Structure 1
Amino acid sequence: MSRAGAGQSGSFALSLAQFAEQAKEAIDASLREIVIELGSSVIRMSPVGNPEIWAANVAHRAKNKAEADAYDEHVEVRNVITSLTPSNFTRNGNLKRGVKYAKPLTKAERVQNFNVNGLVSGKDYIGGRFRGNWMFSIGSPDNTTTEEVDPSGRKSTARIVDGAIEFRAGDTAYITNSLPYAIPLEFGHSSQSPNGMVRVTVARFQQLVLEAIERNKL
């Protein structure tokens, strides 16, 4: 009596090997997605230097705005006095020739005459160097820095995406920013990211892992 399947071999082992390979690829894909999202997160939250919000410039603009406002208040008072002075009007109630109401400042005049949008610091400053200094490496940290600015974060993101292609389960990945002011920025020095970048991203780590696993599950 012959037994079912006699003479056949290898098919079961082959399917296990195929499943194992698929599982390994799914794990690696999940890990790469996690790494890329971690990097993208810290880049997105990285503050870009903005002279408009620097304390010296805020104070300068506030002083100039106050002077412009005071001018307009003076104009308003002058016009009230003009309107309350009977000798300024004809019998028909029109202003006499040569008598005019003063005009408040236009937006252009506030800028040109009172410099309400002026800067006293960072006039030629271009932000984005911190955002452009996120590095990716496998095995050991990359502590290099670059002078290149990257306000959009595209170059740093591309650097992490390109590096993550080589990342595999068992590897150690590093996402670093070695500029000297990275630590102060992480701990609240910037009003743009008062809670930091790395700490906020780490707090979302478990959620990122679960989402990546769901996308790549077999």
Structure 2
Amino acid sequence: MTKVDRRIRKGARFSKQVQAFVKATEAKANEVVRKTALGVLANVVTASPVDTGRFRGNWQVGIGDRPAGAVDAEDKDGSAVVSREGAKLEGVAVGETVFITNNLPYARRLEFGWSQQAPKGMVRTTLANVKDILEEAAK
């Protein structure tokens, strides 16, 4: 085997190592995006005021497009909605836009202090903690 052949082999191995690194990095980045979105969803749902559970049950996730309409669901503890909507995040990747929305007519009022249970809202308080959610997702 000549020096040139050895260099070509080393170059091919290096190229494979770089490709493996890129693939692993992409997978980790996508996992962080998914975990961050799931953390934001869980926080928003948990911070939501609850009476009948209709408001909590109406949080929706959309990838690329904002969900329309309301959901006919009640979820007092929030676990069903986090499970249902969290499943939509399974394939989310870096660069995709994730929408987390509640389309009930009174959602805006609740966000801006209409409820004693969530006087500072749900989305605003979650966004104030998004750095912590992201750091946890990146672990």
Q: TM-score, normalised by structure 2?
A: 0.92
Relative distance call for 1:7 and 1:197 in structure 2 (3 A) is closer
Unpaired runs of at least 5, structure 1: 50-126
Q: State the partner residue of 1:147.
A: 72
- Once the two structures are TM-superposed, the CA of residue 207 in structure 1 deviates from its matched residue by 1.9
- Once the two structures are TM-superposed, the CA of residue 210 in structure 1 deviates from its matched residue by 2.2
Q: State the partner residue of 1:112.
A: none
- Once the two structures are TM-superposed, the CA of residue 166 in structure 1 deviates from its matched residue by 1.7
- Once the two structures are TM-superposed, the CA of residue 33 in structure 1 deviates from its matched residue by 0.2
- Whole-angstrom distance in 2 between the partners of 1:177 and 1:14: 45
Aligned to 2:40, the other structure's residue is in SS state: helix
Aligned to 2:54, the other structure's residue is in SS state: coil
Equivalent residue in structure 1 for 2:89, among 140, 148, 164: 164
Query: Which amino acid is 1:208 matched to?
Result: I
Q: Which has the higher helix share?
A: 2
RMSD: 1.5
Q: TM-score, normalised by structure 1?
A: 0.59
Aligned to 1:176, the other structure's residue is in SS state: strand
Q: Please list, as runs of the form range in 1=range in 2, the aligned pairs for 1:3-82 lying within 5 A after superposition.
A: 3=3, 5-6=6-7, 8-9=9-10, 10-49=12-51
Aligned to 2:9, the other structure's residue is in SS state: coil
Q: State the partner residue of 1:133.
A: 58
Equivalent residue in structure 2 for 1:194, among 113, 119, 126: 119
- Once the two structures are TM-superposed, the CA of residue 146 in structure 1 deviates from its matched residue by 2.0
Aligned to 1:8, the other structure's residue is in SS state: helix
> For the Cα contact (< 8 Å) 1:136–1:159, is it kept in 2?
no
Aligned to 1:130, the other structure's residue is in SS state: helix
Relative distance call for 1:193 and 1:35 in structure 2 (3 A) is same
Aligned to 2:100, the other structure's residue is in SS state: strand
- Whole-angstrom distance in 2 between the partners of 1:7 and 1:24: 27
Query: Which amino acid is 1:189 matched to?
Result: W
- Whole-angstrom distance in 2 between the partners of 1:143 and 1:186: 18
Q: Please list, as runs of the form range in 1=range in 2, the aligned pairs for 1:172-211 lying within 5 A after superposition.
A: 172-211=97-136
What percent identity do the matched residue pairs reach? 32
- Once the two structures are TM-superposed, the CA of residue 181 in structure 1 deviates from its matched residue by 0.6
Unpaired runs of at least 5, structure 2: none
- Whole-angstrom distance in 1 between the partners of 2:3 and 2:102: 66
Relative distance call for 1:135 and 1:3 in structure 2 (3 A) is same
- Once the two structures are TM-superposed, the CA of residue 144 in structure 1 deviates from its matched residue by 1.9
Relative distance call for 1:8 and 1:48 in structure 2 (3 A) is same
Query: Which amino acid is 2:47 matched to?
Result: M
Quick check: which has more Rg, 1 or 2?
Answer: 1
- Whole-angstrom distance in 2 between the partners of 1:200 and 1:6: 56
- Deviating 4+ runs (over 4 angstroms): none
- Once the two structures are TM-superposed, the CA of residue 156 in structure 1 deviates from its matched residue by 1.0
